[in-house]
Amino acid sequence: MWAIPMLIAGGLFAGGVLMIAWERIPAWRAADGEEFQTAFAHTLRRADRLQPALLVVSLISTAGFALTAEGAARGLALLASAGFLIVLVGSGAWLVPIQRRLVEPGSTAPASELDELRSQWLLGHLLRTVVALAALTLAVTAAVS
């Protein structure tokens, strides 16, 4: 019951964050400040409607799978759900406040501060991608254990 939503939502979520890391981050690194802020705001507008929902479904279904599984499958699924939880909490506590600052309309923050926030967000997203990939691999391994 839990395996199918866990694998589908987990795969879609991890694939999405991987594509941002692989395709968007190099473009955003190369962009100047204003160009970055515009492109980043556009992406956020779309990402914020899909990625958190996929992450929550991944977390709930992986936790549900862990509760109903036994042995190694349970342990692996618990680790996977911990990974998804870290991504959720880390995004909410660290990356969302940075995002808000970066796309704040009429922001008067100096360019150096915005550059620092951009670097922090890009680093945070790369860390989130690594954790999401690890959580997906653990969830997949749990499903076949």
Partner 1 sequence: MSGALRLATIVMLTAGGLFTGGVVWYAWERIWIWRRLALEDYAVDFRRSLRKADPALPILLVICACAATAFAWQTSGTARMLAIAGILPLATILVSSIVLAEPINNQFRRRPEGVVPPDAERLRRVWRRFHLVRTALALSAFALIVTAVSYA
CB of 53 to partner 1, least distance (A): 11
Instruction: Examine residue 11 and tell whether it contacts partner 1 (CB under 8 A).
Output: yes
Q: How far is CA 70 from CA 77, 115, 125, 138, in A?
A: 10, 48, 33, 15
Is 140 a residue that touches partner 1 (CB under 8 A)? yes
Q: In this chain, which stretch among 10-18, 88-96, 98-106, 115-123 interacts with partner 1, using CB under 8 A?
A: 10-18
Dist. CA 137–CA 128, nearest whole Å: 14
Report the sign of the C-alpha dihedral through residues 144, 19, 63, 123, in that order: positive
Distance CA 61, CA 93 (A): 23
| Interaction of residue 144 with partner 1, rule CB under 8 A | yes
Q: CB 112 → partner 1: shortest distance, Å?
A: 26
Q: Cβ of residue 31: shortest distance to partner 1, in angstroms?
A: 11
How would you classify residue 110: left for phi > 0, otherwise alpha for psi between -120 and 50, otherwise beta? beta
Cα 82 to Cα 2, 13, 85, 90, 102, distances in angstroms: 16, 15, 5, 12, 29
| 13 is an interface residue for partner 1 by CB under 8 A | yes
Stretch that binds partner 1, among 17-25, 59-67, 77-85, 87-95 (CB under 8 A): 17-25
**Whose Cβ is closer to partner 1: residue 122's or residue 143's?**
143
Q: By CB under 8 A, name the binding residues for partner 1.
A: 3-4, 7-8, 10-16, 18-20, 22-23, 26-27, 42-43, 46-47, 50, 133, 136-137, 140-141, 143-144
